Amino acid sequence: MAKLTADTDLCQGYGNCLTTADDVYDIDDDGKVVLLTETIPEADRARVEAAARSCPVKALGVVDG
């Protein structure tokens, strides 16, 4: 399992994370990221890490959980 982090202060609502992993990330009415789950299986890790790396302000993390 890997654990997801999201910094809503950093988040600017650019939305790139949703194009790669909208099963994990969503956006609220204020344009801030919402985590749909707190953990992901290792099988999803590479894809979700790519989604996290697509964040222009580095608001997202995938850490060992």
Partner 1 sequence: MSTVVIVGASVGGVRTAQALRANGHDGRIVLVGAEPHLPYDKPPLSKQFLAGAWEHDRLALLTEEEAAADGIELRLGVAATGLDPVARTVELADGTSVGYDTLVIATGATARPSPWAAESGVHVLRTLGDGTGLRAALAEPGPLVVVGGGFIGAEVAATAHAAGRAVTVVDPLPAPIARVLGAEVGRLVGDVHRRHGVETRFGTGVQAVSGRVGALEVALTDGTVLPAGTVVVGIGAVPAVEWLADSGLELDNGLVCDEFCRATGHPEIFGVGDVARWFHAGHGEHVRVEHWTNAVEQAACVAHNVVHPEEPVQYRPTEYAWSDQYDWKIQIAGRPNRATGFELAGDPTTDPPRFAALYRDETGRLSAAVTVNWPKLLVAARRLITAGTPYEEGLSVLDKLIAPVSAA
Residues forming the site for partner 1 (CB under 8 A): 12-16, 18-19, 22, 27-29, 31, 46, 49-50, 53-54, 56
Can you tell me which residue has the tokens 């608001």?
59
End-to-end CA distance of the chain: 6
Cβ at position 57, least distance to partner 1 in Å: 9
Cβ at position 39, least distance to partner 1 in Å: 20
Nearer to partner 1, 7 or 49 (CB): 49
Tell me the C-alpha distance between 41 and 48, whole Å: 10
